Amino acid sequence: MSASVRNATCYSLFDGNCYLDNCSNSRANTDHGSIDQSPEAVKKWFKELRNAKEKLTELHFYVHDRVTTESPTSVPIAQANTTSKPPTMFGPTYVFDDPMTLGPEPSSKIISHAHGITSSASKEEDASQIGIMNLAFNDGKFNGSALSVLGDYPFFQKYKEMAIVGGSGAFRLARGIVTAIIYTYNDTTQNEIIDFHVLVLHY
Protein backbone atom coordinates (compact mmCIF):
# COMPACT_ATOMS: atom_id res chain seq x y z
CA MET A 1 0.00 0.00 0.00
CA SER A 2 1.20 3.48 -0.81
CA ALA A 3 2.90 5.29 2.05
CA SER A 4 0.92 8.40 1.15
CA VAL A 5 -2.34 6.87 2.37
CA ARG A 6 -3.37 8.93 5.36
CA ASN A 7 -3.30 6.55 8.36
CA ALA A 8 -4.65 3.82 6.07
CA THR A 9 -8.08 4.69 7.44
CA CYS A 10 -11.18 2.98 6.09
CA TYR A 11 -14.37 4.95 5.67
CA SER A 12 -17.64 3.12 5.21
CA LEU A 13 -19.92 4.41 2.48
CA PHE A 14 -22.94 3.32 4.45
CA ASP A 15 -23.50 3.59 8.19
CA GLY A 16 -27.13 2.73 8.77
CA ASN A 17 -28.94 5.17 6.49
CA CYS A 18 -26.04 7.61 6.40
CA TYR A 19 -23.39 8.00 3.74
CA LEU A 20 -19.66 8.23 4.42
CA ASP A 21 -18.43 8.95 7.91
CA ASN A 22 -16.76 12.33 8.34
CA CYS A 23 -13.18 12.18 7.16
CA SER A 24 -10.10 13.76 8.66
CA ASN A 25 -9.34 16.23 5.89
CA SER A 26 -11.18 18.94 4.00
CA ARG A 27 -11.04 17.18 0.63
CA ALA A 28 -12.95 14.24 2.08
CA ASN A 29 -15.65 16.58 3.41
CA THR A 30 -16.42 17.89 -0.07
CA ASP A 31 -19.96 17.30 -1.31
CA HIS A 32 -19.01 14.91 -4.09
CA GLY A 33 -22.48 15.14 -5.59
CA SER A 34 -21.67 18.67 -6.74
CA ILE A 35 -18.15 18.11 -8.08
CA ASP A 36 -17.40 20.37 -11.03
CA GLN A 37 -16.51 18.11 -13.96
CA SER A 38 -15.81 20.86 -16.48
CA PRO A 39 -12.45 20.69 -18.32
CA GLU A 40 -11.24 23.75 -16.41
CA ALA A 41 -12.13 22.20 -13.05
CA VAL A 42 -10.43 18.92 -13.95
CA LYS A 43 -7.27 20.79 -14.97
CA LYS A 44 -7.28 22.66 -11.66
CA TRP A 45 -7.79 19.37 -9.81
CA PHE A 46 -4.70 17.88 -11.44
CA LYS A 47 -2.62 20.94 -10.57
CA GLU A 48 -3.59 20.56 -6.91
CA LEU A 49 -3.00 16.81 -6.93
CA ARG A 50 0.66 17.08 -5.87
CA ASN A 51 -0.46 18.26 -2.43
CA ALA A 52 -3.27 15.74 -2.06
CA LYS A 53 -3.15 12.59 0.05
CA GLU A 54 -4.70 9.28 -0.89
CA LYS A 55 -7.38 7.86 1.36
CA LEU A 56 -8.86 4.39 1.61
CA THR A 57 -12.63 4.05 1.33
CA GLU A 58 -14.55 0.87 2.04
CA LEU A 59 -17.89 0.31 0.27
CA HIS A 60 -20.42 -2.48 0.74
CA PHE A 61 -23.60 -3.04 -1.23
CA TYR A 62 -25.61 -5.63 -3.16
CA VAL A 63 -26.06 -5.95 -6.93
CA HIS A 64 -29.30 -7.41 -8.29
CA ASP A 65 -28.84 -9.16 -11.65
CA ARG A 66 -32.20 -10.19 -13.12
CA VAL A 67 -32.24 -12.24 -16.31
CA THR A 68 -35.70 -13.82 -16.19
CA THR A 69 -38.35 -11.31 -15.17
CA GLU A 70 -40.88 -8.93 -16.72
CA SER A 71 -38.23 -6.22 -16.58
CA PRO A 72 -34.80 -7.87 -16.93
CA THR A 73 -31.70 -5.91 -15.96
CA SER A 74 -29.38 -8.23 -17.90
CA VAL A 75 -30.06 -9.20 -21.51
CA PRO A 76 -28.15 -11.29 -24.09
CA ILE A 77 -26.87 -9.34 -27.09
CA ALA A 78 -24.66 -11.90 -28.90
CA GLN A 79 -23.37 -15.46 -28.90
CA ALA A 80 -21.34 -17.81 -31.09
CA ASN A 81 -22.87 -20.54 -33.24
CA THR A 82 -21.08 -23.07 -31.04
CA THR A 83 -22.11 -21.58 -27.70
CA SER A 84 -24.37 -24.48 -26.72
CA LYS A 85 -21.68 -27.13 -27.32
CA PRO A 86 -19.00 -26.53 -24.64
CA PRO A 87 -19.94 -27.36 -21.03
CA THR A 88 -19.18 -23.77 -20.04
CA MET A 89 -21.44 -22.09 -22.64
CA PHE A 90 -18.46 -20.32 -24.22
CA GLY A 91 -19.34 -17.14 -26.10
CA PRO A 92 -22.57 -15.50 -24.91
CA THR A 93 -22.38 -11.78 -24.16
CA TYR A 94 -24.75 -9.85 -21.92
CA VAL A 95 -25.26 -6.14 -21.30
CA PHE A 96 -26.58 -5.16 -17.90
CA ASP A 97 -27.97 -2.26 -15.88
CA ASP A 98 -28.20 -3.77 -12.40
CA PRO A 99 -29.50 -1.85 -9.38
CA MET A 100 -27.17 -1.60 -6.39
CA THR A 101 -28.84 -1.53 -2.98
CA LEU A 102 -27.93 -1.01 0.68
CA GLY A 103 -29.25 -4.44 1.66
CA PRO A 104 -29.87 -7.76 -0.10
CA GLU A 105 -33.65 -7.33 -0.22
CA PRO A 106 -35.08 -6.23 -3.60
CA SER A 107 -37.01 -3.53 -1.73
CA SER A 108 -33.83 -2.10 -0.20
CA LYS A 109 -32.80 1.48 -1.04
CA ILE A 110 -31.21 1.82 -4.50
CA ILE A 111 -28.05 3.90 -4.28
CA SER A 112 -26.44 3.19 -7.63
CA HIS A 113 -26.43 1.11 -10.79
CA ALA A 114 -23.85 -1.25 -12.22
CA HIS A 115 -23.64 -0.74 -16.00
CA GLY A 116 -21.55 -3.07 -18.10
CA ILE A 117 -20.92 -6.07 -20.31
CA THR A 118 -20.02 -9.67 -19.48
CA SER A 119 -18.87 -12.41 -21.83
CA SER A 120 -18.37 -16.10 -21.13
CA ALA A 121 -14.66 -16.43 -21.90
CA SER A 122 -13.73 -19.91 -20.72
CA LYS A 123 -13.83 -23.18 -22.67
CA GLU A 124 -12.69 -25.17 -19.65
CA GLU A 125 -14.90 -26.82 -17.06
CA ASP A 126 -14.44 -23.94 -14.61
CA ALA A 127 -16.92 -21.46 -16.09
CA SER A 128 -15.73 -17.87 -16.09
CA GLN A 129 -16.85 -14.50 -17.42
CA ILE A 130 -14.94 -11.37 -18.28
CA GLY A 131 -16.67 -8.33 -16.84
CA ILE A 132 -16.40 -4.64 -17.69
CA MET A 133 -18.55 -2.42 -15.50
CA ASN A 134 -19.11 1.10 -14.31
CA LEU A 135 -20.47 1.54 -10.78
CA ALA A 136 -22.33 4.81 -11.21
CA PHE A 137 -23.46 6.31 -7.90
CA ASN A 138 -26.63 8.38 -8.00
CA ASP A 139 -27.28 9.08 -4.34
CA GLY A 140 -25.45 10.34 -1.28
CA LYS A 141 -22.13 12.16 -1.21
CA PHE A 142 -20.77 10.15 -4.14
CA ASN A 143 -23.69 11.22 -6.34
CA GLY A 144 -22.42 11.74 -9.88
CA SER A 145 -19.21 9.77 -9.30
CA ALA A 146 -18.32 6.34 -10.67
CA LEU A 147 -15.84 3.49 -10.35
CA SER A 148 -14.54 1.58 -13.39
CA VAL A 149 -14.07 -2.16 -12.79
CA LEU A 150 -12.45 -4.82 -14.97
CA GLY A 151 -11.78 -8.46 -14.27
CA ASP A 152 -12.50 -12.15 -14.33
CA TYR A 153 -15.69 -13.53 -12.75
CA PRO A 154 -15.08 -17.26 -12.04
CA PHE A 155 -18.62 -18.38 -11.35
CA PHE A 156 -17.87 -21.40 -9.15
CA GLN A 157 -15.26 -19.71 -6.97
CA LYS A 158 -16.53 -18.28 -3.69
CA TYR A 159 -14.57 -15.03 -3.98
CA LYS A 160 -14.42 -13.22 -7.31
CA GLU A 161 -11.76 -10.51 -7.25
CA MET A 162 -11.81 -7.73 -9.83
CA ALA A 163 -9.62 -4.65 -10.25
CA ILE A 164 -10.73 -1.04 -9.94
CA VAL A 165 -8.90 0.60 -12.84
CA GLY A 166 -10.14 4.16 -12.53
CA GLY A 167 -13.09 6.37 -11.83
CA SER A 168 -14.68 9.79 -12.19
CA GLY A 169 -15.87 12.57 -9.93
CA ALA A 170 -14.82 11.80 -6.35
CA PHE A 171 -13.04 8.70 -7.66
CA ARG A 172 -10.67 10.28 -10.19
CA LEU A 173 -7.52 8.14 -10.53
CA ALA A 174 -9.06 5.50 -8.26
CA ARG A 175 -7.46 2.10 -7.82
CA GLY A 176 -8.49 -0.82 -5.70
CA ILE A 177 -10.21 -4.18 -5.47
CA VAL A 178 -13.79 -5.40 -5.72
CA THR A 179 -14.56 -8.75 -4.10
CA ALA A 180 -17.87 -10.22 -5.25
CA ILE A 181 -19.66 -13.06 -3.46
CA ILE A 182 -22.85 -14.69 -4.71
CA TYR A 183 -25.54 -14.05 -2.09
CA THR A 184 -28.36 -15.92 -3.83
CA TYR A 185 -28.63 -17.62 -7.22
CA ASN A 186 -31.60 -19.30 -8.92
CA ASP A 187 -30.59 -22.09 -11.30
CA THR A 188 -33.89 -21.89 -13.17
CA THR A 189 -34.16 -18.14 -13.74
CA GLN A 190 -30.42 -17.34 -13.55
CA ASN A 191 -31.35 -14.37 -11.37
CA GLU A 192 -28.79 -13.58 -8.70
CA ILE A 193 -27.97 -11.16 -5.90
CA ILE A 194 -24.26 -10.43 -5.51
CA ASP A 195 -22.57 -9.15 -2.36
CA PHE A 196 -19.98 -6.50 -3.29
CA HIS A 197 -17.08 -5.54 -1.00
CA VAL A 198 -15.01 -2.63 -2.33
CA LEU A 199 -11.70 -1.22 -1.14
CA VAL A 200 -10.64 1.82 -3.14
CA LEU A 201 -7.77 4.29 -2.91
CA HIS A 202 -8.62 7.77 -4.16
CA TYR A 203 -7.92 11.45 -3.51
Mean pLDDT value across residues 169-193: 96
Per-residue CA distances from 79 to 59, 61, 126, 152 (Å) = 34, 30, 19, 18
pLDDT band of residue 67 (cuts 50, 70, 90) is very high
The model's pTM: 0.79
Q: Which burial class, exposed, middle or buried, applies to 187 when counting CB atoms under 10 A from its CB (0-12, 13-18, 19+)?
A: exposed
Q: Categorise residue 7: left if φ over 0, alpha if ψ from -120 to 50, beta otherwise.
A: left
Residue 100's pLDDT is 97
User: Which of 182, 177, 133, 191 minimizes the C-alpha distance to 157?
Assistant: 182
Supply the pLDDT for residue 31. Answer: 45
Could you tell me how many helices (H) and strands (E) the chain has, helices first? 1, 12
The predicted-structure confidence for 78-88, as pLDDT tens digits, reads as follows 988 877 776 77
20-65 per-position pLDDT tens digit:
333 333 333 344 457 899 999 999 999 999 999 999 999 999 999 9
What pLDDT is attached to residue 33? 58
- Does residue 5 register a pLDDT over 90? no
Asked if residues 182 and 196 have their Cβ atoms less than 8 Å apart, the reply is no
Q: How far apart are CA 23 and CA 181, in angstroms?
A: 28
4 has pLDDT over 60: no
At 89 the pLDDT is: 77
In the predicted model, what is the mean pLDDT of residues 81-109? 88
CA-to-CA dists, residue 11 to 20, 47, 68, 111, 173, angstroms = 6, 26, 36, 17, 18
pLDDT at 22: 33
Q: What is the pLDDT of residue 79?
A: 85
> In the chain, what are the domains?
61-197 (2.40.480.10)
Which residue from 197, 176, 166, 195 is spatially nearest to 56, judged by alpha carbons? Answer: 176
pLDDT the model gives residue 141:
84
Phi, psi angle pair for 181, to nearest 5°: -130, 130
55-65 and 10-12 strand pairing: parallel
Whole-number pLDDT of residue 126: 73
Taking residues 85-111, report their average pLDDT: 90
75 has which bridge partners? 95
Whether 176 has a pLDDT exceeding 90, the answer reads yes
Count of other CB atoms within 10 angstroms of residue 25: 11
What is residue 86's predicted lDDT score, i.e. its pLDDT? 66
Instruction: Dump pLDDT digits (tens) for 113-166.
Output: 999 999 988 877 677 889 999 999 988 889 999 999 999 999 889 999 999 999
